[in-house]
Amino acid sequence: MSLLEISDLDVHYRRRVGRLHALRGVSLSLSPGETVGVIGETGSGKSTLARAVLGLVRPTSGRIVVDGSDVAAFNQRQWRELRRRGIVQYVFQDPLKSLDPDLTIAESLAEPLRIQGSADIHDTVRKILSRVRLDGSLLDRLPGELSGGQRQRVAVARALITSPRLVLLDEPVSALDSANRVQVLELLKELRDAGTALLFISHDLGSVAGVADRIAVLYQGEVVEDRPASSVINEPVHPYTRLLVSSAPTLRSAAAGRAARGELRTLLNLEGAPV
Ligand SMILES: Nc1ncnc2c1ncn2[C@@H]1O[C@H](COP(=O)(O)OP(=O)(O)OP(=O)(O)O)[C@@H](O)[C@H]1O
């Protein structure tokens, strides 16, 4: 059975004038222990998808089944209960949004354990800290007293501390410098190898490519490809995916030349837009 099954999901946002159709008929599934990357350009609906799975945006239609429960129409109480069970955890791009600025790192890490009523909080906090390779001396500090890379590792530690079966990552390395990015990506690979299912959302194909088993490509609110990562990278089908692959310098095996990129940009109406 799938751990996450998204079927025919539509999300509209109400605007001052009219509505915006942010997701159109999105279907995506994730098996236990699987890592699925979702990539797409800015505005393609990536964060909307993450927010819908976390119950922060209400879908217009469609189903989101998490571990057997259809959560699309859950009320606040049902969401609180699902979070308390710790099946799904999340890490956002900005760790300051996942961490309470007024709680020390020790308090932030202990909080989910306390909600679950676990024993051995002190021991579990110490263990998780060493798993994300952070020093115990950071425990008494506030998030604002850590570097960006340290903060993101604390956010990953907090997401993992209840041993969730699914972790949703929305641009987890985008705000990090390259050294910290590599370290956090290594950490995500370790999680994947330890059997945690990851939904890894990013605009950067290069970051996702080394971690994901499968890659889904979102383009203007629709999933235009959903295949094994190696096949998306080596045989991209949709013009947007071909443009992404040809623009990622470390994925040159399937790269198109400059002329082909020009053609793809014209096809996608992206003249002048950075990719
Ligand atoms: N609260 C909102 N109200 C109205 N429109 C919104 C809202 N949130 C997002 N949108 C719009 O929905 C579309 C999808 O936004 P979303 O944030 O999901 O894209 P994204 O792929 O995550 O982009 P980025 O990579 O820039 O974060 C965009 O056109 C955006 O302007």
Prediction pTM value: 0.86
Six-digit token string for 206: 């290069």
- Distance (angstroms) between ligand 1 centre and the Cα of 214 equals 23
The rounded distance, in Å, linking the Cα atoms of 212 and 132 is 20
As a whole number of angstroms, the distance between CA 124 and CA 162 comes to: 9
Q: How far, in Å, is the centroid of ligand 1 from the Cα of 22?
A: 7
The full DSSP string for the chain is --SEEEEEEEEEEE-SSSEEEEEEEEEEEE-TT-EEEEEE-TTSSHHHHHHHHTTSS--SEEEEEETTEE-TT--HHHHHHHHHHTSEEEE-SSHHHHS-TTS-HHHHHHHHHHHHT-S-HHHHHHHHHHHTT--GGGGGS-GGGS-HHHHHHHHHHHHHTT--SEEEEESTTTTS-HHHHHHHHHHHHHHHHTT-EEEEEES-HHHHHTT-SEEEEEETTEEEEEEEHHHHHHS--SHHHHHHHHH-GGGGGG---HHHHHHHHHHHT-TT---
In this prediction the ipTM stands at 0.97
68-87 tens-digit pLDDT: 889 888 888 888 788 777 78
Sign of torsion over alpha carbons 140, 172, 188, 124: positive
pLDDT band at 142 (very low <50, low <70, confident <90, very high): very high
Pocket test for ligand 1, best of 10, 14, 17, 46 (most atoms within 8 A of CB): 46
Residue 40 Cβ contacting ligand 1 at under 6 Å: yes
Per-residue pLDDT for 274 more than 60? no
Mean pLDDT score across all residues of the chain = 87
Length of the chain: 275
- Beta pairing partners, 202: 39
Structural domain boundaries in the chain: 99-163
pLDDT, average across residues 47-60: 91
Q: Counting atoms of ligand 1 from 1, which one is nearest the CA of 20? A: 5
CA of 186 to the centre of ligand 1 (A): 29
pLDDT tens-place string over residues 195-221: 899 999 999 898 898 899 999 999 999
What residues does 66 pair with on adjacent strands? 4, 69
Of the pLDDT bands very low, low, confident and very high (cuts 50, 70, 90), residue 275 is very low
CA distance 23 to 202: 16
pLDDT at 270: 64
**Structure token pair of residue 212:** 């994901």
